[in-house]
A = this chain, B = another copy of it.
Amino acid sequence: MRKIAESTVRRLSLYLRFLEEFEEQGASTVSSDALAGRGGTTSAQVRKDLSFFGSFGKRGLGYEVPTLKTQLREILGLGRRYRVVVVGAGKIGSALVQYGGFGARGFDLVAIYDNDPKKIGKLWNGLTVRDAAQLEKDLKHEHADIAAIVTPGDAAQAVADRLVACGINAILNFAPVQLQVPESVAVKTVNLVLELEALSYVLANR
């Protein structure tokens, strides 16, 4: 795997969003300047980011929108669909399942788990909440690529350990803990309350 900085991958995702918007607006080519403006970066940075993966665009003509879009999707591994299991059927787990916007991006929520008997068996937006005890058994028969951990903080590490033991290599962590996983496992953490508290800290200490 070519070692590309996380910040580069993030910008590639942003460029892809912009290309989709430019395409919707009927643009067939786009300059590195235009991509840079929307990404809060410079055209030199755009060219450098894209140069990691080969040579795109023509001097003076910019990039062909559909071509670059396809190439970015390939680089980001979006040429296929990903199966995502959600562990934790609390408020955020519910919001994830109800949101329903991930399928359009290639990420299919295929199962949701909880250990609360009152939740197990309930139907949530087409998905039946399953017993977390059957996680190992299910993952043996139904492959999953990514797991979202949406449990309380004190349960998250044990869930992560079980998922990793089942061969899950990519975790989207919503629990307020720093998960300990082997180096081969990728973890991305999302926590709105932590982000809000980072803002309150700034507001309180300015």
Contacts and interface: CB of A to CB of B under 8 A. Distances in A.
A203 B177 CA distance: 23
A194 B82 contact: no
Interface residues of A, number: 70
Nearest to A11: B178
Contact of A204 (B40, B77, B195, B200): B77
Interface string A76-91: 1111101010000001
A156 to B, nearest CB: 9
Interface in A1-55: 1-2, 4, 6, 9-10, 12-14, 16-18, 21, 38-41
Interface in A163-206: 169-172, 176-180, 184, 186, 188, 190, 192-206
A2 B204 CA distance: 11
